[in-house]
Amino acid sequence: MPTSVKELVAAANTVVPKISGTEAQEMAAKGALVVDLRDGTEVAASGKAAGAVHISRGMLEFKADPESPGFDKNFSKDKPVVLYCGSGGRAALAGKLLKDFGYDKVFNAGGFKDWVEAGGKVDK
C-alpha cells in the first residue's frame, strides 16, 4: 500500500495513461470531457483549456458519482475523460479515482502548460 504522495502518484500513473497536449486536443475535438482540476485561483490567473469543465480536485468525487446530489451531468462512463492540473500529479490521482468509480476511458494530459504549449486554445 502506498505510504507517500510520490508512491500514490506512481501507482496512479500505472493505471491512468499519460497523453500529450496534442492528443488531449484531438480527444476533445472528438467529444471527450476535458476537466481542469486546478484550484479556482489557478484558473482565474491563467484561464482554462477551451471547452474544459473546471472541477477542483477536492470536489471530483461529488461531481463524478451519478448517485451524488452534486453530480455533474457532463460526466458519462461511456465518454472519454481527459484530466489536467498544474503539473500532472492531481490529474493522475483523479484519474485513479475515476477508474475506481468505473470510468474506463480516463487519461492524464499532465499540466495546463502542456495544453498551451501544444497550441491549445484557452478560455479566459
Strands (DSSP E) contained in the chain are: 33-36, 48-49, 53-54, 81-85, 106-111, 122-123
- Torsions phi, psi of 108, nearest 5? -100, 110
How many other β-carbons are positioned within 10 Å of the β-carbon of residue 45?
Answer: 9
Burial of 85 (0-12, 13-18, 19+ CB in 10 A): buried
Tens digit of pLDDT for each residue in 42-91?
999 999 999 999 999 999 999 999 999 999 999 999 999 999 999 999 99
* pLDDT of 2 over the 90 cut: no
Please check whether residue 49 is in contact with residue 34, taking contact to mean a CB–CB distance below 8 angstroms. Answer: yes
List domains and CATH numbers for the chain.
5-119 (3.40.250.10)
Q: What is the pLDDT of residue 34?
A: 98
* pLDDT of 93 over the 80 cut: yes
Q: What is the pLDDT of residue 85?
A: 98
Tens digit of pLDDT for each residue in 29-45?
999 999 999 999 999 99
Which positions ≥6 away from 98 have C-beta within 8 Å? Answer: 60, 64, 81, 83, 106
The H or E element that residue 90 is part of is: helix 89-100
Q: What is the pLDDT of residue 104?
A: 97
Q: What is the pLDDT of residue 94?
A: 98
Confidence of residue 7 (pLDDT cuts 50, 70, 90): very high
Q: What is the pLDDT of residue 37?
A: 98
- pTM here is 0.96
* pLDDT of 3 over the 90 cut: no
Give the cell for residue 19. Answer: 497523453
